[in-house]
């Protein structure tokens, strides 16, 4: 029995579960989505909260520019660019035998400074929030001061009395660890078995304590939470439920809006925007999608992407069980090369808050992630890690589902004006040798497919 029903009963009441259990690539567009004006109230956070997070990042910008010189040119703001992907678009549409349906772009969070992934948004924001709270309380800084003062030895010594802990599959640990260590905090990162060796090495080299587990993400998070419970000087970054992570991610949207304005990309009812977001526990894509809904309202359509072996958010929202269910309960193993997405149980906070605001969810096979990784590198010269390719097939999933497009009021004329944005969530810090092995693997998949053999 699974949550009071047999597997057969689940298949009868929720037919897509059969495909998920069989590890087939699956798409589901939620019929229960609602207009932003109504559904944004579900979140319990608003535009004012995002504005506060944005202002906090501005206050810290002089400090960030000083301690991370690679951000100085951007004035200490941690931001990435956008890039059109014309070759990739042509190739994908040709493969799928689909006509034109808008323009494909990449959001290059793979190149975010400091930690090379989307986690440089939420993770760093939460560490800065904690540091600011402590420093203001202790009178180390006063409102209105320049935060450059936090780069002093005295400030580092002050933060050294405190610890920050987090559970992670790799990238969150990297962002929390690097930022915490830079401020002077003691940092502990509880890493799941999926975490790549280079990420652990990198953290240890920065003076971060890395604790390794033979089990998956949920266990690493639980252990981190427990360590913090018994240590009053320890602050736990709760990836499953944190509003400060969520808000740090949400700030991306207002900046994206400016980038689109500068690039002459229009977004309105007649020029819809589709955004494809790789999803692990859900905080990153959830926060970005929340910001996007605030910034673009009903003109933006957010779609979450997961590996076929870890479709936790799809399963949680589709069944309505949210964080009460894990993929493992349905016999899905949560073993994937997309380490950033290797999560078996979704965030209940994000699943519930965002369920009427996220248009759809789909799953992608690992082999397809590698194939797309190689193509994106060859065709467009972009360096993405496997997780960051999950958004790439989104364009085809949307174009193929006419019922969905009709339901959301996107006519063929509107579709022709659409922008499809793949959120490239990580990859620039992957070591060269490892990246070359990814490309090789992807090319092998591509060769096998073009030789006509089924994968």
Ligand X SMILES: *Cc1c(COP(=O)(O)O)cnc(C)c1O
C-alpha distances out from residue 285 to 263, 264, 270, 319, 406, Å: 23, 25, 24, 20, 25
* 164 vs 281 by CB, closer to ligand X: 281
Minimum gap (Å) between residue 94 Cβ and ligand X: 27
How far the first Cα of the chain sits from its last, in Å, is 33
DSSP state of 452: T
Closest CA to 194 of 172, 175, 217, 222: 217
* 45 vs 299 by CB, closer to ligand X: 45
Minimum gap (Å) between residue 338 Cβ and ligand X: 8
Minimum gap (Å) between residue 238 Cβ and ligand X: 12
Minimum gap (Å) between residue 417 Cβ and ligand X: 28
* 150 vs 288 by CB, closer to ligand X: 288
CA distance 42 to 352: 8
* 148 vs 239 by CB, closer to ligand X: 239
Residue 18 structure tokens: 């059969």
* 118 vs 354 by CB, closer to ligand X: 118
CA distance 441 to 171: 22
Q: Are 380 and 315 in contact (CB under 8 A)?
A: no
Return the number of other C-beta atoms located less than 10 Å from residue 148's C-beta: 18
* 101 vs 426 by CB, closer to ligand X: 426
Minimum gap (Å) between residue 6 Cβ and ligand X: 30
CA torsion 187-244-254-48 (nearest 10°) is -150
Residue 413 structure tokens: 């004329």
* 10 vs 290 by CB, closer to ligand X: 290
CA distance 239 to 250: 15
Minimum gap (Å) between residue 385 Cβ and ligand X: 6
* 64 vs 350 by CB, closer to ligand X: 350
Three-class DSSP labels, 26-88:
CEEECCCCCCHHHHHHHCCCCHHHHHHHHHHHHHHHHHHHHHCHHHHHHCCCCCCCEEECHHH
Query: Which string of b and e fits 161-195 if b means at least 16 CB within 10 Å?
Result: ebbbbbbbbbbbbbbbbbbbbbbbbbbbbbbbbbb
Output the DSSP codes for 3-16: TTB-HHHHHHHSTH
* 171 vs 326 by CB, closer to ligand X: 171
Minimum gap (Å) between residue 353 Cβ and ligand X: 13
* 121 vs 299 by CB, closer to ligand X: 121
Which residues of the shown chain bind ligand X in the complex (CB under 6 A)? 117-119, 171-172, 278-285, 340-341, 385, 387-388, 425-426
Q: Are 84 and 105 in contact (CB under 8 A)?
A: yes
| Strand order across the 27-29 sheet | 27-29, 358-364, 300-307, 273-278, 419-423, 103-107, 82-84
Tokens 């206050």, residue located: 59
Minimum gap (Å) between residue 270 Cβ and ligand X: 31
Minimum gap (Å) between residue 382 Cβ and ligand X: 13
Distance of CA 220 to the CA centre of its chain: 18
* 102 vs 340 by CB, closer to ligand X: 340
Q: Cα-flanking dihedrals φ and ψ of residue 89, to 5°?
A: -60, -50
Minimum gap (Å) between residue 104 Cβ and ligand X: 18
CA distance 174 to 287: 19
List strand residue ranges (DSSP E) for 218-282, in order: 234-237, 273-278
Minimum gap (Å) between residue 168 Cβ and ligand X: 8
């Amino acid at each position: 029995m699974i949550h009071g029903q047999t597997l057969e009963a689940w298949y009868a009441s929720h037919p897509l579960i059969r495909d998920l259990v069989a590890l087939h690539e699956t798409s589901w567009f939620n019929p229960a989505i609602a207009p932003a004006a109504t559904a944004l109230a579900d979140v319990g956070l608003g535009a004012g909260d995002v504005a506060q997070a944005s202002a906090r990042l501005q206050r810290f910008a002089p400090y960030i520019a000083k301690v991370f010189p690679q951000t100085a040119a951007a004035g200490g703001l941690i931001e990435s660019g956008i890039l059109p992907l014309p070759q990739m678009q042509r190739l994908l549409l040709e493969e799928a035998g689909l006509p034109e349906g808008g323009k494909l772009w990449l959001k290059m969070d793979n190149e975010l400074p400091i930690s090379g992934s989307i986690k440089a948004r939420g993770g760093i924001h939460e560490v800065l929030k904690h540091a600011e709270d402590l420093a203001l309380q202790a009178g180390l800084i006063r409102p209105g001061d320049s935060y450059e003062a936090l780069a002093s030895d005295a400030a580092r010594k002050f933060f050294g009395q405190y610890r920050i802990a987090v559970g992670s599959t790799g990238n969150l640990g990297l962002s929390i660890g690097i930022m915490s260590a830079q401020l002077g905090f003691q940092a502990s990162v509880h890493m799941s078995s999926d975490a790549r060796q280079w990420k652990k090495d990198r953290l240890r080299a920065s003076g971060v304590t890395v604790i390794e587990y033979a089990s998956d993400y949920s266990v690493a998070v639980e252990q981190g939470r427990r360590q913090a419970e018994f240590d009053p000087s320890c602050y736990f970054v709760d990836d499953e439920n944190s509003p400060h992570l969520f808000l740090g991610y949400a700030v991306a949207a207002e900046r994206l809006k400016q980038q689109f304005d500068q690039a002459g990309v229009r977004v309105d009812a007649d020029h819809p925007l589709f955004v494809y977001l790789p999803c692990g526990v859900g905080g990153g894509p959830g926060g970005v999608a929340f910001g996007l809904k605030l910034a673009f309202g009903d003109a933006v359509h957010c779609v979450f992407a997961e590996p076929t072996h870890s479709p936790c958010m799809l399963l949680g929202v589709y069944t309505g069980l949210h964080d009460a269910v894990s993929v493992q309960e349905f016999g899905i193993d949560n073993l994937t090369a997309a380490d950033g997405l290797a999560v078996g149980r979704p965030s209940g906070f994000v699943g519930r808050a965002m369920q009427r605001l996220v248009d759809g969810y789909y799953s992608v096979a690992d082999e397809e992630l590698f194939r797309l990784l190689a193509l994106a590198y060859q065709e467009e010269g972009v360096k993405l890690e496997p997780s960051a390719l999950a958004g790439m097939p989104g364009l085809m999933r949307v174009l193929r589902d006419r019922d969905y497009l009709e339901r959301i009021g996107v006519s063929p004329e509107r579709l022709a004006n659409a922008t499809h944005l793949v959120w490239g969530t990580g990859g620039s810090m992957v070591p060269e040798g490892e990246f070359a092995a990814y490309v090789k693997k992807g090319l092998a998949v591509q060769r096998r497919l073009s030789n006509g053999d089924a994968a």
